[in-house]
Structure 1
Amino acid sequence: MVSRIDVTDAARELIRELVEKHGDLMFYQAGGCCEGTQPQCFEKGGFYPRMNDAMIGLVEGFEFWVDRDLFEYWQYSHFTLDVLDGFGPGGFSLETPLGKTFKIHYRLFTDEERQDLSPVIRNE
């Protein structure tokens, strides 16, 4: 199966730091304006996905959820979680006090990849 999400080494390192400080995590990418373009990192259970939001995979063992409407738009795109220095929009994400912000890089799946995509889990 083709994974819908991967993570860069820099993001992996930051996730390990956040786990040491906060324990289990979860990620959510909203579909609205402003913070909607930046994935948010919360303590597990610190944010509740809405009905029909899509869990597209695990990042270092932690769920990565995407807003239901945003997923419809990006369902044929591969997500790569990265991190940048700076203050992202919103400021609610756990990496913000560290002067970091998570970012997603997108690319379209190839025709071959689309034939074997890993399934998503919908919040019911």
Structure 2
Amino acid sequence: MIKRLDVTDEAKKLIQELVEKHGELMFYQAGGCCEGTQPQCFEKGGFYPRMNDAMIGLAEGFEFWIDRDLFEYWKYAHFTLDVLDGFGPGGFSLETPLGKTFKVHYRLFTEEELNDLAPIVRSE
């Protein structure tokens, strides 16, 4: 199966740092408003996905959810979670006080990859 989500080494390091400070995590990528489409990192249970949002994979063992409408737009794309120095647009994410922001890089799946994609989970 082809994964829909990968994590860069820099993002893995930051996730580990956040786990040490906050415990279990979760990620949510909204479709607009305050956060734009920046992925947000919360303590597990600190944000509740809406009905029919999509969980596309795990970032270092933690659920990565996508807004249902945003997923429909990006369902043919692979996500790579990365981290940059600076502040994201929302400021609600756990990495913000560290002067970091999570970022997603996208690429379209190849036709071969589309035939073997890992399934998603939908919230109820």
Given the two structures, how large is their TM-score scaled by the length of structure 1?
0.98
Pairs within 5 Å for 1:1-124: 1-124=1-124
Residue 35 of structure 1 deviates from its aligned partner by: 1.0
Gaps of 5+ in 2: none
What is the aligned length?
124
Task: Name the amino acid aligned to 2:21.
Answer: K
Q: Give CA deviations for 1:85-115 in whole Å, capped at 9, x if unaligned.
A: 0010110000000000000000000000000
Distance in structure 1 (CA, Å) of the matches to 2:67 and 2:10: 24
- Identity percentage of aligned residues: 84
Gaps of 5+ in 1: none
Q: Which 4+ residue blocks in structure 1 deviate beyond 6 angstroms? A: none
Task: Name the amino acid aligned to 2:78.
Answer: H
